[in-house]
A and B are shown apart, each in its own frame.
Chain A
């Protein structure tokens, strides 16, 4: 998947015909790449359970069913962090012009905040799609519109960090929206997830 993001950066390089990006274009390329890399993880998230009986095995156990939501969201979160560990340095190396030094700390916490939302929504939509016959299609078709606010907020928040003349301040408004999004969907997923497991 990290390889996927590298390939995507190369494709953006040729598609946009630019050797270096900055500002909103840079933020856009970064977020779109991460979002589509996340979709790969979302599509695979419950495949083992679905095909190998893991859902039933889990449902038979005397544990709270939300544990599966938390575990899977944590797995997706970890996956996203690992992808970013490769993708973000590669992004600065290949596409972003100025050195990332001062932008990095701010970029990191915004990425983590966004990862949280992607992990929760991705887990929910993945569980929703896994029982359908067209899961490879239904999953992303549901997840992508739901994640548009994350892309909006994430791209707007990191746009000043990737400025051509060095990093600006993070607009806190956007970070707040990311946080609100995370909280709303975490609560929502917690409330409805059980209904995706029952039969």
Chain B
């Protein structure tokens, strides 16, 4: 396991420090973000304890993906504070980068490379062992097609590879943007141990489909946003 500093989020509370709550894995205070003069996020405040799951619901364009991109250090917040895994964003983004897994709308895979090549490249970037690539590809049922260029695969297959990419480095915090999009029930079953509640990571999920998503939440919280 190569991600440095894995102790921070799952840290057992020290004996002399028993009254202290564990640091929230995600802590937002008045977070805001705009594109030009269009405000996308306004005054988002929330805290998410380690090991819990937060479901973010909202229609298309509500700013769900923007929120995830801020937490993944890809976007700067314009207002308010954001703390992720006990580090202030965006200043200490470097410290949390290897400990977050982002499953975005785009698979973030090179279409001209095969799934296995993509994952090996990512494994080297994240310092994850290459053996993990074969193991993950096997677990999502992609072993047979993993050597074909990503552009030839169906969207469900690409999504499975993207999930492999997300959990390659065993992140402590999973940021999942509509994780089951394009997946058939059998595939959803396959990826459940990797990104589901049993995966052991703190999770932040988004969905535009309350009925399906609520079945998988452990807590949900309304928040205001403007599109």
Which A residues lie at the B interface, using CB under 8 A? 48, 52-54, 56-63, 198-199
Chain A residue, CB-CB nearest to B102: A60
Which secondary structure dominates chain A's binding surface? helix
Contact B74 A199 (CB under 8 A): yes
Contact B125 A58 (CB under 8 A): yes
Residues of A within 8 A of B107 (CB): 53
For A56, A61, A62, the residue with the greatest tally of chain B CB atoms inside 10 Å of its CB is A62
Q: In whole angstroms, what is the CA distance A61 to B97 when docked?
A: 6
Which B residues lie at the A interface, using CB under 8 A? 3-4, 69, 72-76, 94, 97-98, 100, 102, 104, 106-112, 122, 125-127, 165
Contact A52 B122 (CB under 8 A): no
Residues of B within 8 A of A53 (CB): 104, 106-109
Residues of A within 8 A of B76 (CB): 198-199
Chain A residue, CB-CB nearest to B3: A62
B98 contacts which of A48, A57, A61, A198 (Cβ < 8 Å)? A61
The smallest C-beta distance from B129 to any residue of chain A, in angstroms, reads 15
Q: In whole angstroms, what is the CA distance A52 to B108 when docked?
A: 6
Contact A61 B122 (CB under 8 A): yes
Residues of A within 8 A of B125 (CB): 57-58, 61-63
Chain B residue, CB-CB nearest to A59: B74
Contact B74 A60 (CB under 8 A): yes
Contacts known (A56-B74, A199-B75, A199-B76); A62 close to B108, Cβ less than 8 A:
no
Contact A52 B126 (CB under 8 A): no
Contacts known (A61-B97, A63-B125, A198-B76); A52 close to B104, Cβ less than 8 A:
no
B104 contacts which of A56, A63, A199 (Cβ < 8 Å)? A56
Contact B126 A56 (CB under 8 A): no
Q: In whole angstroms, what is the CA distance A191 to B29 when docked?
A: 32
Residues of A within 8 A of B100 (CB): 60
Contact B109 A57 (CB under 8 A): yes
The smallest C-beta distance from B101 to any residue of chain A, in angstroms, reads 8
For A52, A54, A56, the residue with the greatest tally of chain B CB atoms inside 10 Å of its CB is A52
Contacts known (A57-B122, A198-B76, A199-B74); A62 close to B127, Cβ less than 8 A:
yes
